[in-house]
Structure 1
Amino acid sequence: MLAIVGGTGLYELPGLEIAHRSRDTTPFGDPSGEVLRGRLGSNEVLFLARHGAGHRLLPHEVNYRANVFALKRAGATMLLGFSAVGSLALEIRPGDLAIPEQYFDWTRGQRQRTFFGGGVAAHVSTAKPVSAVLVDAVRSAAARCGLEVHRGLTYACVEGPRLGTQAESHFLRQSGCHLVGMTNVPEVFLAREAQMAYATVGLVTDYDCWLEDPSQHVNVASIFELYGSTLKKAAKVLDALLSQALPEPDAAIRSALGSAMLTPDTALTEEQKLWLDVLRR
Structure 2
Amino acid sequence: MLAIIGGTGFYDLDGLRLDERIAGATPFGEPSGEILRGSLHGQPLLFLARHGSGHRLLPHEVNYRANIFALKRAGATQLLGFSAVGSLALDTPPGALAMPGQYVDWTRGQRERTFFGRGVAAHVSTARPVSAPLVEAVCAAGRRAGLPVQRGLTYACVEGPRLGTQAESHLLRQLGCHLVGMTNVPEVFLAREAQMAYATVGLVTDYDCWLDDPAQHVSVGAIFERYRQTLADARRLLDALLQEPLPEPEPESRQALAQALLTPDTALSPEQRSWLEVLRR
TM > 0.5 between the two? yes
2:100 is equivalent to residue 100 of structure 1: yes
Displacement of 1:229 in angstroms is 1.8
AA aligned to 1:22 is I
- The one-character-per-residue Cα deviations of 1:122-144 (angstroms, maximum 9, x if unpaired) are 00000000000100000000000
AA aligned to 2:73 is R
2:255 is equivalent to residue 255 of structure 1: yes
Q: Which consecutive unaligned segments of at least 5 residues does structure 1 have?
A: none
What residue in structure 2 maps to residue 85 of structure 1? 85
Partner SS, residue 256 of structure 1: coil
Displacement of 1:23 in angstroms is 1.1
Q: Superposition pairs for residues 19-58 of structure 1, below 5 Å?
A: 19-58=19-58
Supply the distance in 1 between the matched residues of 2:226 and 2:270 (Cα, whole angstroms): 50
Displacement of 1:5 in angstroms is 0.1
Q: Superposition pairs for residues 128-277 of structure 1, below 5 Å?
A: 128-277=128-277
AA aligned to 1:159 is E
TM-score, structure 2 as length reference: 0.99
Q: How much identity, in percent, do the aligned residues show?
A: 74
Supply the distance in 2 between the matched residues of 1:65 and 1:98 (Cα, whole angstroms): 25
Supply the distance in 2 between the matched residues of 1:224 and 1:268 (Cα, whole angstroms): 46
CA RMSD of aligned residues (A): 0.5
Partner SS, residue 258 of structure 2: helix
Displacement of 1:227 in angstroms is 1.5
AA aligned to 1:276 is L
AA aligned to 2:105 is D
AA aligned to 2:229 is S
Partner SS, residue 258 of structure 1: coil
Partner SS, residue 119 of structure 2: coil
Supply the distance in 2 between the matched residues of 1:237 and 1:264 (Cα, whole angstroms): 43
Supply the distance in 2 between the matched residues of 1:55 and 1:10 (Cα, whole angstroms): 10
TM-score, structure 1 as length reference: 0.99
| Equivalent pair of 1:42/1:245 in contact (CA under 8 Å) | no
Supply the distance in 2 between the matched residues of 1:276 and 1:206 (Cα, whole angstroms): 40
| Equivalent pair of 1:101/1:154 in contact (CA under 8 Å) | yes
What residue in structure 2 maps to residue 13 of structure 1? 13
Supply the distance in 2 between the matched residues of 1:100 and 1:83 (Cα, whole angstroms): 11
| Equivalent pair of 1:42/1:244 in contact (CA under 8 Å) | no
Supply the distance in 1 between the matched residues of 2:24 and 2:246 (Cα, whole angstroms): 27
AA aligned to 2:20 is H
AA aligned to 1:198 is Y
Aligned residues: 281
Displacement of 1:42 in angstroms is 2.3
AA aligned to 1:58 is L
Supply the distance in 1 between the matched residues of 2:154 and 2:20 (Cα, whole angstroms): 36
What residue in structure 1 maps to residue 62 of structure 2? 62
- The one-character-per-residue Cα deviations of 1:152-184 (angstroms, maximum 9, x if unpaired) are 000000000000000000000000000000000
Moved over 4 A (4+): none
Displacement of 1:203 in angstroms is 0.1
